Amino acid sequence: MHALTAILLAVCLITIVALMAAAAAAKLARLDGATYPAACLRAAAAFAAVLTLAAAVTGALATVLT
């Protein structure tokens, strides 16, 4: 497997996981009685948190493995 293929696959997987977390956060917010704008804000925060966590883990692994 080429390195570019592995990187693209990892990016797609992280994006899908982030979207699923955002959708779950929005659904839970709506079930809790939040308005649609508030649910969208919670979904955006969850999406950003997952991407930030993935970047932090990638940075930590890059320093350990090199």
The model's pLDDT over 15-62, given as tens digits with 9 standing for 90+, comes to 999 999 999 999 999 999 999 999 999 999 999 999 999 999 999 998
Question: Residue 54 is encoded by which pair of tokens?
Answer: 């993935």
pTM of the full predicted structure? Answer: 0.88
Q: Write down the pLDDT at residue 65.
A: 84
DSSP secondary structure code for residue 58 in this structure: H
Neighbour tally for 38: CB within 10 Å: 14
Domains of the chain by residue range: 3-65
DSSP string covering 13-42, please? HHHHHHHHHHHHHHHHHHHTT--HHHHHHH
Q: Write down the pLDDT at residue 15.
A: 96
Distances (CA, A) of 57 to 28, 35, 37, 65: 26, 33, 30, 12
Q: What CA–CA distance (Å, rounded) separates 18 from 23?
A: 9
Q: Write down the pLDDT at residue 66.
A: 82
